């Protein structure tokens, strides 16, 4: 009797499956989607069964038997296995790698490894030194201890000892010195404590939906299986209530399950809290703070049906829920839904495919939908639902433009001009106003560090030795840092190129604005939120909770503060520099700027006190700025969509980015040329459906020591592009030297 054979996907960078025999003892345990342990080249490997095999790929070889099938249920139910196969095809990625990326890390190992609970040493300020005089007295002969104390302060008063020592490049003796002085104390804290376990869910708010909300809920309830809805609701229009009421129907009336995707869990604790308030124990929150073991447990609870709502960032789209009724993609325009490494999937697109396979309804929600989703709603592919007004009759905040070109005042003293370039008189007056009334303000500056770059009088800029990018000046601790590769170096006294001595810092970062705010508003409680102050896993949540409790007067931050915050006492939003990003060499530069300005403006005036916004800019007539001022999304798409037709960019057509990188500049350029030569005749054979732009150096020519060239491929129909890329990635031969690598990014969110 011939043995039963199956095809198994292994997590290898190969576009093929492997055939194995099913031993009699595992006959009932092995089916499509089952995780199996198999022998592979003298070792064992974990794979996933794709389906039955006719043994064709074996040739004359004899199939080896599967060693084990460790799970009681298949790891992939049919809908998820189909999603995995679609992803492998569409993103041209080996199916074994795709399936591994869709499972918790612990399931990539033969045995479940649950690390024991560990603790870490945390340094906390024990005695705050508020005045300069106190600090001078205490740290007179201990500048390193002072630097440590001040770093601790910028990190919110506590941080792990390991992190502090690494950031300062100091020894632990400095930590001991600070403790000995009684200024700080070391405590043991558990690693990876999960705030969603101990965090109290607020009681559900008793709200009656508005007419518009009721209409949207009814449309979703009657949505056909597999249908996609675009919920376009202005900021503060109550999109979350629509999700909640729809999911109540899905879970309670239909006894189904649901997935809720958010851009980043740590930045949206309020949204997560509202779901937990309504659905309590049915919710599993999947976030990056979970240990491998906790993540595995949550995954199992979802698979068993003990939990019926999975909330998480993009990878939650793979939650193993049965009988899936709905997938919500909140803030669907966010770039974080795109995975930056292989498989480079977009969670919004995967959600739509999964819903189609499972017969679920998808809701894409945003105040500023991506142009792709908007075009799909216009063509009738998605159903458009609109929430055109704020709940409770609230008004959108008035947005004022401050033209920085005229603010500095030509005749004013240099110090005043320097101040006004960062903080204009109208914005400063508005901040004073809020402080006097006990209201809160948000200030956006989408650039961390102290100064953007350092330059000599001749214009030589201090650049990263590994990347084609300038180094950013950081003040606490003082050093130059590359924001692409984390390369760090001390600030030198003179220019490396020409020896000139008076180096100048240019361009403002959050650290500099924070210092300025402390000078101008000495009594205000200022908090800063950027990558440097949120290195602890739950630092975001802690800062936001402090704002919610009214312990912060001014919250200054990067784009992190623009996402979904809802604080009724925030009545002022200021944008320090609206022009950052507006001229990036990327076809989405205007769209990103419009979305960021609209979203941050939408944080103002969400309570009965109303709100006001000031946008500081040197390009007040740019349509991204103008449309944000008028809260006019329709006008923005009306101007932006035609601009994407010539030259054509998405959503007019499909785009893919092929990047070739390596250690040698000439070899990379040469390889990119060869790739173009390889592709050109094949493009022609496809009859003009596909076009190629380039090859050209990437806008950032070098990152982490690797030179980068790219080819942009544009396609009217997606299928031809899939076939071409599969042929290219399996047949084009990369030179063996210089660590040459090729990456394929379909539907890229940026071309940098
Ligand atoms: Zn670098
Ligand atoms: Zn110079």
Which DSSP string do the residues of 425-455 spell out, in sequence order? HHHHHHHHHHHHHT-EEEEE-S--SSEEEEE
- Mean pLDDT within 202-230: 90
User: What is the distance in A from the centroid of ligand 1 to the CA of 442?
Assistant: 31
Residue 736 is predicted with a pLDDT of 86
Q: Which ligand is nearest to the CA of 483?
A: 1
Structure tokens at 112: 């479940």
Residue 51 maps to which CATH number? 3.40.1440.60
Residue 197 is predicted with a pLDDT of 63
In whole angstroms, what is the distance from residue 469 CA to residue 637 CA?
32
668 with 620, same domain: the answer is: no
User: What is the distance in A from the centroid of ligand 1 to the CA of 496?
Assistant: 17
86-95, 137-146, 517-526, range with greatest mean pLDDT: 86-95
User: What is the distance in A from the centroid of ligand 2 to the CA of 479?
Assistant: 19
Number of domains in the chain: 6
User: What is the distance in A from the centroid of ligand 2 to the CA of 471?
Assistant: 15
User: What is the distance in A from the centroid of ligand 2 to the CA of 470?
Assistant: 14
718 with 689, same domain: the answer is: yes
Render the burial of 389-399: b for 16+ CB within 10 Å, e for the rest: bbbeebebbeb
User: What is the distance in A from the centroid of ligand 1 to the CA of 464?
Assistant: 5
Does residue 609 fall inside a structural domain?
Answer: yes
Distances (CA, A) of 101 to 108, 215, 322: 9, 38, 19
Task: Give yes or no for a contact between 268 and 564, defined as CB atoms under 8 angstroms apart.
Answer: yes
In whole angstroms, what is the distance from residue 640 CA to residue 592 CA?
12
Alpha-helical regions (H) of 648-692: 665-685
- One DSSP character per residue, 56-85 reads GGGTTSPPEEP-B---SS-SS-HHHHHHHH
Residue owning tokens 């025999």: 21
Q: Which ligand is nearest to the CA of 487?
A: 1
Distances (CA, A) of 730 to 543, 711, 724, 734: 48, 17, 10, 10
User: What is the distance in A from the centroid of ligand 1 to the CA of 342?
Assistant: 22
590 with 673, same domain: the answer is: no
155 with 226, same domain: the answer is: no
Residue 296 is predicted with a pLDDT of 87
- Mean pLDDT within 102-110: 80
Residue 613 is predicted with a pLDDT of 95
Q: Which ligand is nearest to the CA of 469?
A: 1
- Mean pLDDT within 512-516: 91
Reply yes or no on whether the pLDDT at 645 is more than 50. Answer: yes
Domain ends where: 643, 668, 693? Answer: 643
> In the predicted model, what is the mean pLDDT of the chain?
89
Residue 295 is predicted with a pLDDT of 86
Does residue 114 fall inside a structural domain?
Answer: no
User: What is the distance in A from the centroid of ligand 1 to the CA of 297?
Assistant: 38
Does residue 140 fall inside a structural domain?
Answer: yes
Q: Which ligand is nearest to the CA of 489?
A: 1
Q: How confident is the model at residue 199 (pLDDT cuts 50, 70, 90)?
A: low
Structure tokens at 101: 């990326």
Tell the burial category of 197 from Cβ atoms under 10 Å away from its Cβ (0-12, 13-18, 19+): exposed
Q: Which ligand is nearest to the CA of 499?
A: 2
Does residue 51 fall inside a structural domain?
Answer: yes
Least confident of 198-212, 235-249, 456-470: 198-212
User: What is the distance in A from the centroid of ligand 2 to the CA of 473?
Assistant: 17
Alpha-helical regions (H) of 359-491: 371-378, 404-407, 414-422, 425-437
Q: How confident is the model at residue 570 (pLDDT cuts 50, 70, 90)?
A: very high
User: What is the distance in A from the centroid of ligand 2 to the CA of 483?
Assistant: 22
User: What is the distance in A from the centroid of ligand 1 to the CA of 471?
Assistant: 8
Residues pairing with 577 in the sheet: none
Reply yes or no on whether the pLDDT at 632 is more than 80. Answer: yes
Q: How many CA atoms lie within 13 A of 19 on its CB side?
A: 15
Domain ends where: 190, 218, 252? Answer: 190
In whole angstroms, what is the distance from residue 8 CA to residue 230 CA?
38
User: What is the distance in A from the centroid of ligand 2 to the CA of 469?
Assistant: 16
Residue owning tokens 């040329």: 673
Higher pLDDT, 235 or 189: 235
Domain ends where: 172, 190, 208? Answer: 190
Q: Which ligand is nearest to the CA of 467?
A: 1
User: What is the distance in A from the centroid of ligand 2 to the CA of 355?
Assistant: 58
Provide the edge-to-edge strand list for the sheet that holds 43-52.
35-40, 43-52, 5-9, 18-21, 64-65
Least confident of 27-36, 194-203, 724-733: 194-203
Domain that holds residue 472: 449-508
The residues, any chain, with a CB within 8 Å of residue 424's CB and separated by 6 or more, are 402, 404, 407, 614, 616
Residue 673 is predicted with a pLDDT of 95
Q: Which ligand is nearest to the CA of 472?
A: 1
Does residue 153 fall inside a structural domain?
Answer: yes
Residue 115 is predicted with a pLDDT of 45
- Mean pLDDT within 117-142: 80
| DSSP β-ladder status, 690-703 and 706-715 | antiparallel
SS3 content of the chain, % helix, strand, coil (to 5): 35, 25, 40
Residue 116 is predicted with a pLDDT of 46
533 with 631, same domain: the answer is: yes
Q: How confident is the model at residue 265 (pLDDT cuts 50, 70, 90)?
A: confident
Reply yes or no on whether the pLDDT at 456 is more than 50. Answer: yes
Q: How confident is the model at residue 191 (pLDDT cuts 50, 70, 90)?
A: low
724 with 701, same domain: the answer is: yes
User: What is the distance in A from the centroid of ligand 1 to the CA of 555?
Assistant: 29
629 with 679, same domain: the answer is: no
User: What is the distance in A from the centroid of ligand 1 to the CA of 551?
Assistant: 37
Does residue 648 fall inside a structural domain?
Answer: no
Task: Give yes or no for a contact between 572 and 612, defined as CB atoms under 8 angstroms apart.
Answer: yes
- The DSSP element (H or E) to which 478 belongs, if any, is none
170 with 296, same domain: the answer is: no
In whole angstroms, what is the distance from residue 708 CA to residue 703 CA?
8
Q: Which ligand is nearest to the CA of 494?
A: 2
| DSSP β-ladder status, 706-715 and 654-662 | antiparallel
Reply yes or no on whether the pLDDT at 601 is more than 80. Answer: yes
User: What is the distance in A from the centroid of ligand 2 to the CA of 502?
Assistant: 9
Higher pLDDT, 114 or 344: 344
411 with 549, same domain: the answer is: yes
Residue 114 is predicted with a pLDDT of 42
User: What is the distance in A from the centroid of ligand 2 to the CA of 489?
Assistant: 18
Q: For 527, list phi and psi in degrees, rounded to 5.
A: -120, 145
Reply yes or no on whether the pLDDT at 522 is more than 60. Answer: yes
Structure tokens at 568: 């009724």
Residue 323 is predicted with a pLDDT of 95
User: What is the distance in A from the centroid of ligand 2 to the CA of 582?
Assistant: 28
Task: Give yes or no for a contact between 579 and 618, defined as CB atoms under 8 angstroms apart.
Answer: yes
Q: Which ligand is nearest to the CA of 466?
A: 1
Residue 631 maps to which CATH number? 3.40.50.300
| DSSP β-ladder status, 706-715 and 35-40 | unpaired
DSSP state of 250: I
- Mean pLDDT within 682-710: 88
- Mean pLDDT within 659-674: 95
Reply yes or no on whether the pLDDT at 193 is more than 70. Answer: no
DSSP state of 395: P
In whole angstroms, what is the distance from residue 296 CA to residue 347 CA?
21
User: What is the distance in A from the centroid of ligand 2 to the CA of 278?
Assistant: 61
Does residue 540 fall inside a structural domain?
Answer: yes
Distance of CA 49 to the CA centre of its chain: 32
In whole angstroms, what is the distance from residue 227 CA to residue 247 CA?
15
User: What is the distance in A from the centroid of ligand 1 to the CA of 163?
Assistant: 20
In whole angstroms, what is the distance from residue 260 CA to residue 283 CA?
10
Q: Which ligand is nearest to the CA of 485?
A: 1
**Planar angle of CA 250, 252, 257, nearest 5 degrees:** 45
Higher pLDDT, 633 or 477: 633
299 with 408, same domain: the answer is: no
User: What is the distance in A from the centroid of ligand 1 to the CA of 300?
Assistant: 40
Q: How confident is the model at residue 229 (pLDDT cuts 50, 70, 90)?
A: very high
- How many residues in total does the chain contain? 752
User: What is the distance in A from the centroid of ligand 2 to the CA of 34?
Assistant: 63
Q: Which ligand is nearest to the CA of 456?
A: 2
Residues pairing with 573 in the sheet: 442, 613
Question: For residue 203, how many other CB atoms are within 10 A of its CB?
Answer: 8
Query: Could you tell me which of 572, 532, 332 has the C-alpha nearest to residue 442?
Result: 572
Tell the burial category of 60 from Cβ atoms under 10 Å away from its Cβ (0-12, 13-18, 19+): exposed
Q: Which ligand is nearest to the CA of 463?
A: 1
pLDDT by residue (tens digit) across 735-749?
Answer: 888 899 999 999 999
Residue 688 is predicted with a pLDDT of 66
User: What is the distance in A from the centroid of ligand 2 to the CA of 452?
Assistant: 17
Q: Which ligand is nearest to the CA of 504?
A: 2
User: What is the distance in A from the centroid of ligand 1 to the CA of 400?
Assistant: 37
User: What is the distance in A from the centroid of ligand 2 to the CA of 513?
Assistant: 27
DSSP state of 315: G
User: What is the distance in A from the centroid of ligand 2 to the CA of 581?
Assistant: 27
437 with 541, same domain: the answer is: yes
pLDDT by residue (tens digit) across 314-363?
Answer: 999 999 999 999 999 999 999 999 998 889 999 999 999 999 999 999 99
User: What is the distance in A from the centroid of ligand 2 to the CA of 505?
Assistant: 13
What contacts 24+ positions apart, CB below 8 Å, involve 519-525?
520/423, 520/428, 521/431, 521/432, 521/435, 521/553, 521/554, 523/435, 524/431, 524/435, 524/553, 524/554, 525/551, 525/552, 525/553, 525/554
- Radius of gyration of the chain, Cα coordinates, nearest whole angstrom: 28
Q: Which ligand is nearest to the CA of 465?
A: 1
In whole angstroms, what is the distance from residue 64 CA to residue 38 CA?
8
User: What is the distance in A from the centroid of ligand 1 to the CA of 466?
Assistant: 5
Three-class SS state of 16: coil
User: What is the distance in A from the centroid of ligand 1 to the CA of 456?
Assistant: 20
Residue 218 is predicted with a pLDDT of 97
Does residue 12 fall inside a structural domain?
Answer: yes
Higher pLDDT, 204 or 214: 214
- Percentage of the chain surpassing pLDDT 90? 53
Reply yes or no on whether the pLDDT at 57 is more than 90. Answer: no
485 with 530, same domain: the answer is: no
Q: Which ligand is nearest to the CA of 460?
A: 2
User: What is the distance in A from the centroid of ligand 2 to the CA of 493?
Assistant: 11
Three-class SS state of 125: strand
Structure tokens at 322: 């049965």
Reply yes or no on whether the pLDDT at 192 is more than 50. Answer: no
């Amino acid at each position: 009797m011939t043995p039963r054979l199956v095809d198994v996907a292994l997590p290898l960078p190969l576009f093929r499956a492997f055939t194995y025999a099913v031993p009699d003892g595992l006959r009932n345990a092995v089916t499509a989607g089952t995780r199996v342990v198999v022998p592979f080249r003298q070792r064992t490997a974990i794979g996933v069964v794709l389906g039955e095999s006719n043994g064709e790929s074996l040739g004359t070889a004899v199939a080896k038997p599967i060693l084990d099938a460790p799970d009681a249920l298949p790891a992939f139910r049919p809908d998820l296995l189909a999603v995995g196969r679609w992803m492998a095809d569409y993103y041209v990625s080996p199916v074994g790698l795709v399936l591994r990326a869709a499972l918790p890390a612990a399931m990539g190992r033969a045995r479940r490894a649950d690390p024991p609970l560990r603790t870490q040493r945390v340094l906390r300020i024990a005695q705050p030194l508020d005045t300069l005089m106190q600090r001078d007295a205490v740290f007179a002969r201990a500048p390193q201890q002072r630097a440590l104390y001040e770093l601790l302060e910028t990190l919110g008063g506590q941080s792990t000892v390991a992190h502090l020592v690494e950031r300062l490049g100091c020894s632990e003796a400095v930590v001991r010195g600070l403790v000995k002085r009684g200024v700080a104390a070391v405590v043991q804290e558990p690693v990876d404590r999960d705030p969603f376990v101990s965090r109290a869910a607020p009681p559900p708010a008793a709200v009656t939906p508005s007419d518009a909300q009721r209409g949207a809920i009814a449309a979703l309830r009657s949505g056909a299986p597999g249908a996609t809805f675009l919920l376009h609701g202005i900021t503060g229009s109550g999109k979350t209530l629509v999700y909640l009421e729809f999911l109540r129907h899905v879970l309670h009336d239909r006894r189904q399950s649901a997935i809720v995707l958010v851009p980043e869990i740590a930045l949206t604790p309020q949204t997560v809290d509202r779901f937990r308030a309504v659905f309590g124990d049915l919710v599993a929150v999947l976030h990056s703070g979970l240990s491998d073991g906790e993540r595995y447990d949550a995954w199992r609870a979802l698979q068993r049906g003990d939990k019926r709502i999975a909330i998480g960032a993009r990878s939650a789209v793979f939650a193993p829920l049965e009988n899936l009724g709905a997938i919500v993609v909140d803030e669907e325009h966010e770039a974080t839904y795109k995975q930056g490494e292989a498989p480079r999937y977009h969670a919004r697109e995967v959600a739509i495919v999964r819903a189609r396979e499972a017969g679920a309804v998808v809701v894409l929600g945003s105040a500023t939908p991506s142009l792709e989703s908007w075009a799909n709603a216009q063509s009738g592919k998605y159903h458009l639902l609109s929430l055109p007004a704020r709940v409770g009759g609230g008004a959108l905040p008035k947005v004022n433009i401050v033209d920085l070109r005229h603010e500095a005042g030509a005749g004013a003293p240099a110090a005043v001009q320097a101040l006004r370039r960062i903080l204009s008189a109208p914005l400063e007056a508005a901040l004073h106003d809020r402080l006097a009334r006990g209201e809160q303000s948000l200030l956006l500056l989408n650039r961390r560090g102290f100064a953007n770059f350092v330059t000599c009088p001749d214009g030589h800029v201090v650049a990263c030795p590994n990347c084609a990018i300038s180094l950013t000046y950081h003040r606490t601790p003082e050093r130059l840092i590359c924001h692409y590769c984390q390369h760090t170096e001390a600030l030198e006294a003179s220019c490396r190129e020409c020896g000139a001595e008076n180096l100048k810092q240019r361009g403002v970062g959050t650290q500099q604005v924070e210092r300025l705010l402390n000078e101008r508003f000495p009594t205000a409680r200022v908090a800063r939120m950027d990558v440097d102050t949120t290195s602890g896993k739950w630092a975001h949540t802690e800062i936001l909770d402090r704002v919610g409790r009214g312990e912060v007067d001014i919250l200054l931050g990067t784009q992190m503060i623009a996402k979904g915050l809802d604080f009724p006492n925030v009545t002022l939003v200021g944008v320090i520099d609206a022009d950052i990003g507006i001229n990036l060499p990327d076809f989405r530069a205007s769209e990103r700027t419009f979305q960021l300005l609209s979203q941050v403006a939408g944080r103002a005036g969400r309570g009965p006190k109303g709100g006001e916004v000031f946008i500081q800019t040197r390009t007040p007539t740019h349509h991204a700025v103008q449309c944000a001022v008028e809260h006019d999304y329709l006008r923005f798409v009306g101007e932006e969509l035609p601009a994407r037709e010539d030259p054509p960019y998405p959503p007019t057509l499909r785009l893919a980015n092929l990047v070739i990188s390596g250690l040698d500049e000439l070899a990379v350029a040469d390889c990119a040329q060869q790739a173009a030569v390889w592709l050109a005749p094949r493009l022609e054979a496809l009859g003009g459906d596909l076009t190629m732009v380039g090859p050209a150096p990437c806008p950032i020519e070098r990152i982490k020591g690797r030179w980068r060239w790219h080819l942009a491929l544009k396609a009217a129909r997606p299928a031809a592009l899939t076939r071409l890329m599969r042929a290219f990635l399996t047949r084009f031969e990369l030179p063996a030297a210089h660590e040459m690598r090729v990456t394929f990014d379909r539907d890229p969110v940026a071309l940098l």
